[in-house]
């Protein structure tokens, strides 16, 4: 039976740390695993990623072409009709109520909201100030007697 007086760690659970630079007998003395001289043997001898010893790094040598819209891309907080059906009965669905019910968390609270059509919606809900809807979501909402009110 396992009791407090016979508890033991499993074999191999405790391993001694490698003590570098603590004499020849340790096996990691002299150069302490850093080889002979050079920048990487020094105290603060780390170089940044992509550094090539002072020559022009590859990422600066390659041509930069084309256009990237990544800076201006709008991120949406996506919520499905199935998630809304599980949390709402017959109230108004807005940013505030979505936050209260826990469907919008973290960064999504500040993003534009998009409602997706996946899941079943059998309730007549009113959507207020929601930014985007998929076509299927709009059809499902209006089919069940719901309304979409924009700004």
Task: Using the predicted structure, report yes or no on whether residue 140 has a pLDDT greater than 80.
Answer: yes
Report pLDDT for 151. 67
**Bridge partners (DSSP) listed for residue 148:** 127
pTM, rounded to two decimals: 0.56
Is residue 36 situated within a structural domain?
no
Is residue 48 situated within a structural domain?
no
- For 102, the domain range is 75-149
The count of domains in the chain is 1
Is residue 114 situated within a structural domain?
yes
Is residue 115 situated within a structural domain?
yes
**Residue 21 CA neighbour count, 13 Å, CB half:** 6
- The CATH number assigned to the domain holding 142 equals 3.100.10.10
Task: Classify strands 112-116 and 132-133 as parallel, antiparallel or unpaired.
Answer: parallel
23-77 pLDDT, tens digit each: 999 889 889 989 899 888 888 888 899 999 899 999 999 998 999 898 999 999 9
Nearby residues of 30 by Cβ (< 8 Å), 6 or more positions away: 24
Is residue 25 situated within a structural domain?
no
Is residue 54 situated within a structural domain?
no
Give Cα separations from 101 to 22, 88, 91, 129 (angstroms).
59, 8, 12, 17
Percentage with pLDDT > 90 across the chain: 63
Is residue 84 situated within a structural domain?
yes
68-102 pLDDT, tens digit each: 898 999 999 999 999 999 988 888 999 999 999 99
Percentage with pLDDT > 70 across the chain: 99
Report pLDDT for 150. 81
101-130 pLDDT, tens digit each: 999 999 999 999 999 999 888 889 999 999
């Amino acid at each position: 039976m396992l009791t407090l007086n016979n508890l033991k760690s499993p074999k191999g659970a405790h391993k001694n740390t490698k003590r570098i630079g603590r004499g020849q007998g340790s096996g990691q003395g002299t150069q302490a695993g850093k080889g002979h001289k050079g920048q990487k043997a020094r105290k603060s001898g780390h170089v940044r990623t992509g550094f090539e010893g002072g020559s022009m790094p590859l990422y600066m040598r390659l041509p930069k072409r084309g256009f990237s819209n990544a800076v201006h891309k709008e991120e949406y907080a996506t919520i499905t009709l199935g998630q809304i059906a599980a949390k709402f009965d017959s109230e108004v669905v807005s940013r505030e109520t979505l936050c209260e019910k826990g469907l919008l968390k973290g960064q999504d609270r500040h993003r534009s909201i998009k409602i997706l059509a996946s899941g079943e919606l059998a309730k007549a809900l009113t959507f207020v100030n929601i930014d985007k809807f998929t076509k299927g979501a709009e059809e499902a909402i209006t089919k069940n007697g719901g309304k979409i009110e924009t700004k």
